Amino acid sequence: MDGACSRLIPIGAERMHARIWDADGPTVMIAHGVTGTSADHTPLARSLHARGFRVIAPDAPGCGRSDPSPDPETGYGLGAMAVTVRGFLDAVADGPVHWVGASKGGALGIRIAGETPERIAGLVLYDVGTTLPDAVRSVLGERLGGPPRFANMGAFRDHVGRFFERAGASLAPDRLDEIAIGWSRRLDDGGVGYHYDPALSNQFRNNPEDFALWPWWDRVACPALIMRGERSNVLSEAELAEMAARNPRATAHTVAGAVHVDMLDSAEMQATIMDFIAAHAGHGEGVAA
């Protein structure tokens, strides 16, 4: 057991599923990427919890065990999701949170921190900027709308493993099991498919403002750590430098050899994230005795 409990948090008529590691320290919110789940960054959550932080890792709307958006056309845009997630934070956090966001989870953090700075005490972004290359946006809009189906869990697990291999990432067998379980759902015909709502693809066609985040980034007032994978195809070196230059409280950090699709599992990445949060939470080397 890793000390986490699962909760279904009501947000209006919908519910968001979250895994919560309770502790007396500051609260850290971990926000996964566009088709991820709360299982994506479990090792990081455990490490943060071991240092005394309270950790919240939700399934975003339309992902995992959370309900889909009631507005499939525009409800997966950052503006609508920010409203939902602020309601979620009202229910699970007593004050501002330290936000760790990968990819879309980071973009959502920029939007929330820019709109409501009192909600975010610190911002850690992994491989996300204020824009998205047109080629990446086009591919995601096409692929996410028609997820493949598989005969069984073994075939699905193999598919997920090949996805990480093509992306240039590697996972240990037990970690691949964990991700495959988190990303899967049983279909009515007995097969296996992805867990997410295919309408997530609509964001890439219907919400162009989500890929022009400079107005929100320029309003971010909290300390921010921007981590870029050295082999990223999403966040360029030039944009990383400009983000740091435009925000005096931002620190840029390049992770050697890393790609965009990364679960933040490495000891180096976890240490970088935890040390940044601990320093800005006022706890120096950590919060645990």
pLDDT tens digits along 62-105: 999 999 999 999 999 999 999 999 999 999 999 999 999 999 99
Task: Give the model's confidence band at 2: pLDDT under 50 very low, under 70 low, under 90 confident, else very high.
Answer: confident
Rounded to 10 deg, the angle between the 104-115 and 78-92 helix axes is 80
96: Cβ contacts below 8 Å, ≥ 6 apart:
118, 119, 120, 121
Q: Would you say residue 213 lies in a domain?
A: yes
Is there a single domain that holds both residue 207 and residue 226? yes
Q: Is 287 within the bounds of a domain?
A: no
Residues 164 and 27 in one domain: no
Say if 60 falls within a structural domain.
yes
Within-domain flag for 246: yes
- Which CATH number does the domain housing residue 258 bear? 3.40.50.1820
Confidence at residue 67, expressed as pLDDT on a 0 to 100 scale: 98
- Tens digit of pLDDT for each residue in 254-289? 999 999 999 999 999 999 999 999 999 975 444 443
251: amino acid identity, one letter: T
Q: How many domains does the chain have?
A: 2
Q: Report the distance separating Cα 198 and Cα 237, nearest Å.
A: 31
CA dihedral 54, 59, 64, 69 (to 10 degrees): 160
140 and 164 together in one domain: no
Average model confidence (pLDDT) across the chain = 96
CA distance linking residue 180 with residue 168, whole number of Å: 17
Q: Is 92 helix (H, G, I), strand (E, B) or coil?
A: helix
- Sort 219 into a burial class: Cβ within 10 Å, 0-12 / 13-18 / 19+: middle
Tens of pLDDT, residue by residue over 201-251, are: 999 999 999 999 999 999 999 999 999 999 999 999 999 999 999 999 999
Measured CA distances, 49 to 3, 27, 41 (Å)? 9, 10, 12
The Cα–Cα gap between 94 and 54 comes to 12
Confidence at residue 1, expressed as pLDDT on a 0 to 100 scale: 45
Domain ranges, residue 96: 4-144+198-280
Q: Are 58 and 38 in contact (CB under 8 A)?
A: yes
State whether residue 113 is helix, strand or coil.
Answer: helix
- The pLDDT of residue 283: 52
Q: Can you tell me the mean pLDDT for 128-154?
A: 97
Q: What is the percent of the chain where pLDDT is above 70?
A: 97
Q: For the segment 81-93, what is each residue's pLDDT rounded down to a tens digit?
A: 999 999 999 999 9
SS3 label, residue 144: coil
Q: How many CB atoms lie within 10 A of CB 208?
A: 11
Tell whether 28 and 101 lie within a shared domain.
yes
Element (H, E) at 208: none
What gap in Å lies between CA 161 and CA 145, rounded to an integer?
21
Rounded distance between C-alpha atoms, residue 43 and residue 51, angstroms: 13
Distance in angstroms (rounded) separating the CA atoms of residues 52 and 274: 11
pLDDT at 286: 43
Residues 171, 264 within the same domain: no
